[in-house]
Each structure stands twice: as C-alpha cells, then as structure tokens.
Amino acid sequence: MERLTGRLPGRLRDAVTWLRKPSRRPARLAAALALIGGGLLSFLPILGLWMLPLGFALLSEDIPALKPRLEAMARAVERFVSRFRKKP
C-alpha cells in the first residue's frame, strides 16, 4: 500500500495519507462505501469501475480479512500490466 501511495500525484497522495490515519475511521468508511457504491453504478457518466478497487483498498484498512486478498489481487494485476507493457 505504501508503494502504491508513493506513486500517486501529490494532492491525491496527501488525501490518501490523511484518510489512512487511525483517527479518520468514520471518514474512511464513508469514503470507501461511497467509492464502492459509485463503482457499482459505473454505467453512469463520471462514475466507473476504477472506484471499486479504491473503495475496497480503503475498506481493507478497517477489515483485516480483506487485506491479504486485496494485496494478492494487486500483485496479479501488476504482473499482468508489466507483461503487457513489455510486449512490442
């Protein structure tokens, strides 16, 4: 999570860092549920499937059982993307 956060643009990185603080749990849960809900409504303009993984990543901060599955999925996606980028 730290490595991914470090790759974000400055303002977004600051927002994610702020949300990940333990004292921000209510805001983090609200943001996670809003992102997941927006991801489920991806057929509407502006909203999209990109919101689902971000919502689950925020939710995994408070539900430890999600973290290993989310990390495994992130590694799989990263491997897939790296193989895709290597092809000429």
Segment 44-81, tens digit of pLDDT: 777 788 888 888 888 888 888 988 998 898 889 889 88
**Number of C-beta neighbours around residue 17 at 10 A:** 13
Q: What angle (nearest 5°) sits at the alpha carbon of residue 37, between those of residues 36 and 41?
A: 115
- Give the C-alpha separation, 88 to 76, whole Å: 21
pLDDT digits (tens, 9 = 90+) for 31-52: 999 989 988 888 877 778 888 8
Rounded Cα–Cα distance for residues 45 and 24 (Å): 29
What pTM was computed for the model? 0.70
- Cα atoms found within 13 Å of the Cα of residue 28, Cβ hemisphere only: 18
